[in-house]
Amino acid sequence: MVTTEIHTLALDSTRDGTITHVNLYQDLARVTRSYTINVAAGQTKLTISSLPNVMDYESLRVEGRGAALIQGVTAFKDKVRTPDETSPLLKELKIKEAKAKHALERCKKAIGSIDQYMGNISVEHLDISKLGEAMDIYDTTEDKWDSKMFDLEEELEAIEKQIEVERKRLGASVGNKKLRTVVAIDLYAADPAELKVNLLYAVSQAHWRAAYDIRVDMENKERTVQLVYKAGISQQTGEAWNDIPILLETAQPTFGLEPPSLNIWHVSHTQKRRPTVGGKAARKAMTDPSETFIKPLTATVDSEGYVNATFQLPGLTTVPSDDEERNVVIAELELPVKMAWTCVPKLDTRVFLEATIMNTSEFTLLTGESSVYVDQCFIACSEVSDVSPGETFKTHLGVDPTIRVIYHPQTNKVAETGFYHKSMKHTYSQRITIHNTKPINVEGLRITDNIPVSDDANITVHLLSPALAIPAPNLTTTTTKVAVVPAAVNVAEGVIAQWNGADDPDVDVAGLGEDGHLDWVCDVPAQKKINLVLEYEVATSEKGRILGL
């Protein structure tokens, strides 16, 4: 005999379901919940309540294990229930509270009357032999009312606590207002069976952000830095993530994402009236935005295909639904680094330290703030951009006070040349002293300076020292002219000079030197000084002041 009876089964996620794991993306989370149920033969209507309001219905999937068929799945929000304003217990407690307050008020009045009576006693009409007896009576009476007042105050405090507990119970009876989503599942089983049902859904209002500690040891001979990769996790979905496995995702999920399609491009001399929004669109527009799934802005992370985009946090993690950020460590990495010291003494004689770090790990580094420590001292806050495995990134390490640069006063010599066609020639000399006070050698210190650039045909500027050549075209064919990067000039042992940007692989070679900027790249021995000299001449055929010098 075929039965048409539909069995019903109701589950509450806060009691009957467990979160097996969470895949946490930067602006949303994918939650997997598991339920174990027993169904009778035939059709069963399974309703699962107390799910987050911020669930994305399009992402909802139901998976089952057991001898049954899933015939349909729907999701909706339950009505907002208001808590009962009162209860028999609350009424009883309010009456006790009122009686205790009145009794306490009478007690205070009685004590006040006794004090007033004692204050009005006249010494002239009081028998001195009865003074001690009167004071004993006053003390006994006052002590009696004081004790009663203290007892009433304690009783009133206890009643008020009971009232607070009862009101919280009434408020909690309606459940968590953030957990009003209900999922209804239609099941069919030929025979009674035990089933395992998994719900997979995405929720907004869950986040993680990357953060870093970069620790540099200047005496580390291995040329590595320690990078502590951290995650700041927060959520306010309404669910309690208690002791669950969390997987951090670096990619962005694509729930329901479809390729864009072009609409018809209309042009007209008149403006058409915009259609009135109705039906499903109107209902969607009127939805409370605080309870809808919030689509995050799309961000991309470059990947070479072999990048491990999922971070499994060790152990189990607890993240309450309070939007408070919790920091967890993803990994501690030792990465190769190349140090670079730079100084522009014409503007600032301090030497700035910069690290170029290669990500040799399997982790993708996402954009996030970093705290930089050099020799265990906090230096500055910086930012790390998206870095895939195999890529490099730079971070500033602040000022290195152990390298001192002196920018000496400039000297200028003026000479007049020519007999009939006289010209004025200004020869400038600039000396720069570098002192390495470190106990180790400094390699690759870059000192940048510049010479003036003429904007007048009657003014010529010629670099004397270092003797850098202007890039010249390489006539490899009759139809093309390819500029060749001029070779660096050896100034002294461990010191070369070149046009600024000459070692940049993407530099416009033809434009080298046009801005007048040049670099010295120096290897400075420990506890030693070196001197650099910049000399150039400015010549003009006109008398008068040269503006800009």
What is the pLDDT at residue 301? Answer: 35
d(Cα 191, Cα 195) in Å, to the nearest integer? 12
Q: Strands (DSSP E) along 176-325, which ranges?
A: 181-189, 193-203, 206-216, 224-235, 241-244, 246-249, 310-312, 317-319
pLDDT exceeds cutoff 60 at 254: no
Q: What is the pLDDT of residues 435-464, one digit of tens each?
A: 999 888 899 999 999 999 988 888 889 999
CB atoms inside a 10 Å sphere around CB 239 = 28
d(Cα 127, Cα 116) in Å, to the nearest integer? 20
Place of tokens 């970069």: 214
In terms of Cβ atoms closer than 10 Å to its own Cβ (0-12, 13-18, 19+), residue 128 is: exposed
The phi and psi torsions of 165 (rounded to 5 degrees) equal: -65, -40
Q: What pairs with residue 454 in β-bridges?
A: none
Residue 528 carries which DSSP code? -
Q: How does strand 411-417 pair with strand 423-436?
A: antiparallel
DSSP string, 201-214: EEESSEEEEEEEEE
- The per-residue pLDDT of the chain, averaged, comes to 83
Q: Is the dihedral of CA 313, 316, 322, 327 positive or negative?
A: negative
What is the pLDDT at residue 359? Answer: 95
The phi and psi torsions of 305 (rounded to 5 degrees) equal: 95, -30
Task: For residue 157, give the 3-state DSSP assignment.
Answer: helix
Secondary structure element (H or E) that encloses residue 16, with its range: helix 13-16
- Over pLDDT 90: what percentage of the chain? 42
DSSP string, 247-298: EEESS---TT-----PPP----SSPPPPPPP-HHHHHHHTS-GGGSPPPPPP
Q: What is the pLDDT of residues 102-158, one digit of tens each?
A: 888 888 888 888 777 776 666 566 666 666 666 777 778 888 888 888 988 898 899
- 346-358 burial, b at 16+ Cβ within 10 Å, e below that, comes to eeeeebbbebebb
Say how many CA atoms lie within 13 Å of 274 toward its Cβ. Answer: 2
What is the pLDDT at residue 126? Answer: 60
Q: Is the dihedral of CA 462, 467, 468, 470 positive or negative?
A: positive
pLDDT exceeds cutoff 70 at 175: no
- Over pLDDT 70: what percentage of the chain? 82
What is the pLDDT at residue 360? Answer: 94
The residue with greater pLDDT, 422 or 351, is 351
Q: What pairs with residue 413 in β-bridges?
A: 427
The residue with greater pLDDT, 368 or 285, is 368
pLDDT exceeds cutoff 50 at 35: yes
Interior angle at CA 500, CA 384 and CA 528, nearest 5 = 85
What is the pLDDT at residue 284? Answer: 38
What is the pLDDT at residue 379? Answer: 84
pTM for the complete prediction?
0.62
Residues 6+ apart with CB under 8 A from 413: 426, 427, 429
Tokens at 335, concatenated: 């990465």
What is the pLDDT at residue 290? Answer: 46
What is the pLDDT at residue 186? Answer: 93
d(Cα 297, Cα 302) in Å, to the nearest integer? 16
pLDDT exceeds cutoff 80 at 223: yes
Cα distance between the two ends of the chain:
107
In terms of Cβ atoms closer than 10 Å to its own Cβ (0-12, 13-18, 19+), residue 241 is: buried
DSSP string, 416-427: EE-SSS-EEEEE
Task: For residue 495, give the 3-state DSSP assignment.
Answer: strand
Q: What pairs with residue 179 in β-bridges?
A: none
Secondary structure element (H or E) that encloses residue 33, with its range: strand 29-39
Contact 399, 352 (CB under 8 A): yes
Q: Which of 111-115, 228-232, 297-301, 430-434 has the lowest average pLDDT?
A: 297-301
d(Cα 519, Cα 516) in Å, to the nearest integer? 10
> What does the pLDDT average to over 486-499?
91
Tokens at 49, concatenated: 């309540």
